[in-house]
């Protein structure tokens, strides 16, 4: 399996997010930052996800894709378009309820579009607390999609919340002065 890459581009406010290879958490902090920049643009009109060269997508990346879908709906009442011919990925997306958030083109589009996606520049090693918060947010978004996802990710989200609370307590205790 090819290591993952996220490529992004835009043309007249239509943003293309192309996932290549096996896309994992390590790329997601940069992707999350890109999402904020994309929605801050006044010319934003829509999103196309090109998954034709994706081998695998982890749950954090899926959560960020869902985040984009929700924000696009709020902003312009438009559903993102997913280009994907991989039957396994299509089953995954369908089983998680993405068909309620996005439109799909599973044949006929070869990834040709006006935007010219370029590799998303990945930040160096992300701050552990920021990465944990982003993973937590992505999974909360997945949980909000439907009851099945809520059940699937409940234990993980609870574990991450506990970890976050513990990290916050350690930080607070280390910042206190000892008398």
Average pLDDT, the chain: 85
Question: Quick check: 173 pLDDT over 80?
Answer: no
Beta-carbon contacts of residue 115 (< 8 Å; ≥ 6 apart)? 9, 10, 11, 14, 15, 16, 48
Of all residues in the chain, what percent carry a pLDDT higher than 90?
59
**pLDDT value of residue 179:** 42
Question: Quick check: 174 pLDDT over 70?
Answer: no
What's the pLDDT band for 163 if we cut at 50, 70, 90? confident
Q: At what angle do helices 147-175 and 128-145 cross, to 10 degrees?
A: 160
User: Which of 21-25, 81-85, 119-123 reaches the highest mean pLDDT?
Assistant: 81-85
Q: Where are the alpha helices (DSSP H) in the chain?
A: 28-40, 59-76, 87-96, 128-145, 147-175
Q: How crowded is the C-beta side of 105, counted as CA atoms within 13 Å?
A: 14
Question: Quick check: 109 pLDDT over 80?
Answer: no
Question: Quick check: 167 pLDDT over 60?
Answer: yes
The Cα–Cα gap between 142 and 74 comes to 17
Question: Quick check: 88 pLDDT over 90?
Answer: yes
Question: Quick check: 108 pLDDT over 90?
Answer: no
Question: Quick check: 178 pLDDT over 50?
Answer: no
**pLDDT value of residue 28:** 64
**pLDDT value of residue 124:** 56
What's the pLDDT band for 33 if we cut at 50, 70, 90? confident
**pLDDT value of residue 127:** 75
Task: Provide the 3-class DSSP secondary structure of residue 17.
Answer: strand
**pLDDT value of residue 165:** 82
Q: Show the domains of the chain with their CATH numbers.
A: 5-122 (3.30.750.24)
**pLDDT value of residue 64:** 94
Mean pLDDT within 67-79: 90
The Cα–Cα gap between 80 and 66 comes to 10
Residue whose token pair is 């011919």 = 85
For residue 160 the two structure tokens come to: 């991450």
β-strand partners of 15: 10, 47
């Amino acid at each position: 399996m090819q290591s993952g890459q996220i490529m992004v581009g835009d043309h007249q406010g239509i943003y293309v997010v192309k996932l290549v290879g096996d896309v994992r958490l390590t790329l997601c902090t940069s992707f999350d930052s890109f999402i904020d920049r994309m929605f801050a643009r006044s010319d934003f009109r829509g999103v196309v996800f090109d998954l034709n060269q994706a081998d695998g997508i982890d749950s954090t990346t899926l959560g960020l894709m869902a985040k984009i879908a929700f924000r696009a709906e709020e902003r312009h009442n438009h559903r993102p378009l997913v280009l994907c011919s991989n039957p396994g990925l299509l089953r995954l997306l369908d089983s998680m309820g993405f068909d309620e958030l996005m439109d799909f083109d599973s044949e006929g589009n070869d990834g040709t579009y006006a935007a010219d996606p370029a590799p998303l520049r990945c930040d160096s090693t992300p701050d552990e607390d920021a990465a944990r918060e982003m993973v937590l947010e992505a999974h909360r978004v997945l949980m909000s999609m439907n009851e099945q996802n809520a059940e699937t990710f409940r234990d993980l989200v609870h574990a991450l919340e506990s970890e976050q609370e513990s990290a916050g307590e350690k930080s607070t205790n280390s910042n206190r002065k000892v008398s």
